[in-house]
Amino acid sequence: MYPVFNTAIKTVLNNWTALQFAVQQQAGGKESAAVAEWMVGVLEQYFYENEDLDGEEVADYLATIMDQELNTLVEDESDLQVGECLCRLYQLCVAGQESAVMDELSKMPKCDLTACRVQEQDESEMDAPQLVADQMNELQLIDSGGDAVSETPPRELTELEKQQLQDEADGWTVIRKGNKKR
């Protein structure tokens, strides 16, 4: 156990804007501040129980806690920065370089929530059924003997899209590559 590492975790988490904003907004309910305090011990234990952690593993762990405990999705990749920082500080503690840890902590930028705000939900973030319903309402349909036709002709499907539609019709589940999100 490294007492300086506990201090390092507290300092890093207290200066993590995503976490502090979630706490300020009580994203996890009235217990949000208690969850943030609890995270210090949980993270410390996570490091002691797992050898050779890398920043991405710690970031995934942080993202899971933020999602499950504080109903917050971190999409700015700050969880990766926090994970890498904690791994670096832990390695310094293991190497007995507590003064280097304290020096890094003193240089760490402080959390400033004044520029943070809750983002209003726009149409692109609406739930899919509502978005589809809205789009259906906007369509202008022409009755042509029972066939509904939009004013603009449909675009030609690519071979890949045709194959995916056939696979889905055959009962296959198609997994499409998407943007990585944190």
pLDDT, residue 81, reads 96
Print the SS3 string covering 144-170.
ECCEEEECCCCCCCCHHHHHHHHHHHC
DSSP E strands in 4-158: the ranges are: 141-144, 147-150
| 10-residue mean pLDDT series, the chain (182 residues) | 95 95 92 96 97 96 95 92 97 96 94 76 57 56 49 66 68 52 49
Predicted TM-score (pTM) of this structure: 0.65
Query: CA distances (Å), 107 to each of 14, 15, 32, 77, 124, in order?
Result: 14, 12, 27, 21, 39
Helix (H, G, I), strand (E, B) or coil at 21: helix
The Cα 3–Cα 35 span in angstroms is 21
pLDDT, residue 59, reads 97
**What distance lies between CA 159 and its chain's CA centroid?**
34
Contact between residue 64 and residue 182 where contact means Cβ atoms under 8 Å apart: no
pLDDT, residue 49, reads 96
pLDDT, residue 170, reads 65
pLDDT, residue 90, reads 97
- Kind of pairing between the strands at 141-144 and 147-150: antiparallel
pLDDT, residue 150, reads 46
Contact between residue 7 and residue 105 where contact means Cβ atoms under 8 Å apart: yes
pLDDT, residue 157, reads 73
Helix (H, G, I), strand (E, B) or coil at 142: strand
